[in-house]
Structures are given as C-alpha cells and as structure tokens.
Amino acid sequence: MKTRCQRCAIGALLAVTWLGSAWARPAITQASCTPAPQPLMYDCRVVLADGGQPVTAAVFTLTADMPAMPMAHHVPAVPAEPTGTAGEYRATVRLEMPGTWTLKLRVTRPAPDLLLRNIEIGAHGKPAGATSPHAGH
C-alpha cells in the first residue's frame, strides 16, 4: 500500500512538472518605442522568448496605458507584426504624452495571455527625461 501511494505521488509530481513546462509563458525580453514620423505616434518593438528561445509564431495586439493616469488615455489595440527577426514584433501606437507607459500585449497564440512591460517615453523626438512644455500635465 505504501509503495502504491509513493508511486501515485511521484506520478502526480511528474504530471505537474510536465504540465508546467508545457504551459510555459512567453516573456517580453526587450521592449522599446521610438518616435514615428507622425506626431504622437510611436513605433514599438518587442522581443518575445520562452525558455530563452524566440517565440516566432505569436499572435497578439499591443495597447498602452499610463500607470500614473489609469484609463485617462484611450490607446486602441493594434495587431503586432513580425519584423523578420526571430521573436521580434512591431506595432505603431499613439502615445499622447511623455512619461511611464505600460505596454499591454494581449496574446492569443501560442496560448491566451496578457504580458505587461513598463517603458519610458520622452518628449516626441527626444530621449526619456528631456523636458517638454507639457511636462507638468
């Protein structure tokens, strides 16, 4: 009886370990947004990896929110597109002011997930930390 319980416990542990690895989550390993030619538009680039390997077939939308001003800015979700580099994707979004923004990736493939990453946005065309006439807003 004791041996049977030990086998069941070992089997359960192996199943949990296998399921955990099968359901590994992709992670954002790099994220940045640079000014696009249009005012207030930014080209955002994210790199996704799972267990150190690039995630090459991800499907997700990208949106953003300011943690300091939740729900004050409506940034429509836009589909991200692969750049041609393994694990790298891009999307162009409208970010209305400098500051800390949270990029939100709503992943549908390889598995449904929500990935978040904070980034700093400077005044349009200037590095983060540069002064802006709207810095006090």
* CATH code at position 110: 2.60.40.10
Whole-number pLDDT of residue 64: 95
- Is residue 12 included in any domain, yes or no? no
Assigned token pair, 7:
């086998």
CA angle 118, 124, 126 (to 5 degrees): 85
Assigned token pair, 25:
């989550």
Q: Which carries the bigger pLDDT value, residue 64 or residue 125?
A: 64
- Is residue 30 included in any domain, yes or no? yes
- Is residue 6 included in any domain, yes or no? no
Considering its fold, how many domains does the chain have in total?
1
- Is residue 34 included in any domain, yes or no? yes
Q: What is the DSSP letter of 17?
A: H
- Is residue 113 included in any domain, yes or no? yes
Whole-number pLDDT of residue 7: 61
For 44-86, the pLDDT digits (tens) are 999 999 999 999 999 999 999 999 988 788 899 999 999 999 9
pTM for the whole thing?
0.72
- Is residue 47 included in any domain, yes or no? yes
- Is residue 18 included in any domain, yes or no? no
Assigned token pair, 39:
């005012």
Q: Which amino acid is residue 43, in one-letter code?
A: D
Whole-number pLDDT of residue 15: 47
Please give the Cα distance from 19 to 53 (Å, whole number).
19
Please give the Cα distance from 62 to 131 (Å, whole number).
27
Q: Tell me the average pLDDT of the chain.
A: 81
Q: Which amino acid is residue 52, in one-letter code?
A: G
Assigned token pair, 105:
């990736």
Query: Taking 50 as the threshold, does the pLDDT of residue 130 lie above it?
Result: no
Cα 47 to the center of its chain, rounded Å = 8
Please give the Cα distance from 93 to 45 (Å, whole number).
11
- Is residue 71 included in any domain, yes or no? yes
Domain span holding position 67: 25-121
Q: Which carries the bigger pLDDT value, residue 93 or residue 14?
A: 93
Can you tell me the mean pLDDT for 16-24? 47
